[in-house]
Structure 1
């Protein structure tokens, strides 16, 4: 496989060819979101395959973003650009039936439910860590650029990633706590005339 920067450039070219730069997404376009997710993973020192998966995680749509850039019968096309390991992570992320999978995701022997095939299986430890790290990078990007998303989903996501802390890097866990934590309570203004008696 070519060096990471060259592979990222090739993936971005493919994303542009498939219209990701014109698809609306919180914080801009789908392409800008994907690039921010990859950059966040890079800042966490994720290995190249996971960074590439972060850049391409929406190729087949996701449980939360149904628009697909490629149909599943073209998985080899994506693998030819980013490699089979990164493509497998993209498929794992895209295929996750979140409602069925998330409740037990922190358990090493819990089933992962594939929304495309309807089958359940048990991923190995590396795939679970990849899924958790990519999930954190994706959700944190959304929470960072969209305060309404953070207000609505922040507490639930913080609880999820706290449960998954053994599968997250220290940088990812710290970012989850920083971005998803509820805002500090506003101090009561003792001089507020509306509360004075």
Structure 2
């Protein structure tokens, strides 16, 4: 856990400068959710740029959160974020922000087939979001971390009904991503959605 602290604290001032501490996100601020997402991605042993993307994944808005921010996103804002977190992390954040959730599901079904490729769509334009299979797996890691970060540590917080709403799909994602994602899923979700780890 100690190794997770420098990354989160190192970017806190930048997140505050971008206004993440002022945006409400369910029962907390957006910055709290972003930091928890980053820590979950670190538990999943994701690459550093994916963990950094977790810290910034809401700064442009998403389909579910402040979608109008992405509609009018100035190119200068992308340049600012790219300078802060690097090209790979910013590309991931931008793809996360503009993707349609329907195309995420279709792309997962595609990549689970031999030779299948992701087919993500930009929800603003309907155009394609170019992405390799490896980049799509990073996007899945980011979104899984985001989903797991919505499971509150305190029962006084609003809770997602994972079993009824999202369970089967995100179980499939965790299994697709491998042992570290499955372990993190089981630690946070458990219960009826527990995944039996594969034994080698």
Q: Aligning the two structures, in what range does the TM-score lie when normalised by the shorter sequence? A: 0.7 to 0.9
In 2, the alpha carbon distance for the partners of 1:38 and 1:66 equals: 20
Structure-1 residue corresponding to 2:125:
117
Higher Cα Rg, which structure: 1
In 1, the alpha carbon distance for the partners of 2:9 and 2:187 equals: 31
TM-score normalized by structure 2? 0.76
Aligned residue pairs total 180
- Is 1:138 the counterpart of 2:146 in the alignment? yes
| C-alpha spacing 1:91/1:167, structure 2 compared with 1 (3 Å) | farther
Matches within 5 A, 1:93-108: 93-108=96-111
Question: Deviation at 1:179?
Answer: 3.8
TM-score normalized by structure 1? 0.77
In 1, the alpha carbon distance for the partners of 2:175 and 2:137 equals: 8
Question: Deviation at 1:50?
Answer: 0.3
Structure-2 residue corresponding to 1:75:
78
What per-residue deviation string (whole Å, max 9, x for no partner) do you get for residues 71-108 of structure 1?
24221110000000000010111111113432442322
| C-alpha spacing 1:64/1:22, structure 2 compared with 1 (3 Å) | same
Of 157, 161, 173 in structure 2, the residue corresponding to residue 164 of structure 1 is 173
Structure-1 residue corresponding to 2:197:
none
In 2, the alpha carbon distance for the partners of 1:49 and 1:21 equals: 22
RMSD over aligned CA atoms reads: 2.9
Task: Give the secondary structure class of the aligned counterpart of 1:143.
Answer: coil
Task: Give the secondary structure class of the aligned counterpart of 2:109.
Answer: coil
Please tell me whether the aligned partners of residues 37 and 141 of structure 1 are also in contact (alpha carbons under 8 angstroms): yes
In 2, the alpha carbon distance for the partners of 1:136 and 1:179 equals: 12
Please tell me whether the aligned partners of residues 128 and 167 of structure 1 are also in contact (alpha carbons under 8 angstroms): no
Question: Deviation at 1:118?
Answer: 1.9
Greater Cα shift, 31-40 or 115-124 = 115-124
In 1, the alpha carbon distance for the partners of 2:182 and 2:192 equals: 18
